[in-house]
Amino acid sequence: MLYRLLAEATMVAHFAFLGYLALGGFLAWRWPRTIWFHLGAAGWGIVSVVTGAECPLTLAEHWGRVHAGQPGLPPSGFVDHYIEGVVYPEEYSLLVRWTLAVLVLFSYAGYLVLRRR
């Protein structure tokens, strides 16, 4: 039971991280010091997409599910399991990634404009 709770909590944290990755730059418009946290999150997002590095949250969820007697996450990872093919068709992956990048860059541009005032 404890392992399953750990796996579920890790899944929720992973979704929260992805939400923060997409929208956290806009939080810096109101709370400027949070930009540093978002830069770290965005940096990790870029590294994981470009290099294919495994996210520690994916590994933790997989570990928790296996120890709870459930099937672990597939080797393709969290996004492929929960988002691609579920939220949007897999053939739009590149479009979604570019849209996310533009959204983050827009949030940073807005942050810079607000900081210069």
Quote the pLDDT of residue 46.
92
- How many CA atoms within 13 Å lie on the side-chain side of 103? 16
Contacts of 8 (CB under 8 A, 6+ apart): 64
The C-alpha angle with vertex 87 and arms to 83 and 93, in degrees rounded to 5, equals: 65
* Residues listed for the chain: 117
Greatest Cα-to-Cα distance within the chain, rounded to the nearest angstrom: 55
Of 117, 101, 114, 103, residue with least CA distance to 32? 114
Quote the pLDDT of residue 61.
95
Quote the pLDDT of residue 74.
87
Quote the pLDDT of residue 18.
95
pLDDT in tens, the chain (117 residues): 899 999 999 999 999 999 999 999 999 999 999 999 999 999 999 999 889 888 999 999 999 999 999 998 888 889 888 999 899 999 999 999 999 999 999 999 999 999 998
Quote the pLDDT of residue 103.
96
Compute φ and ψ for 54, nearest 5 degrees: -80, 135
- How many CA atoms within 13 Å lie on the side-chain side of 42? 19
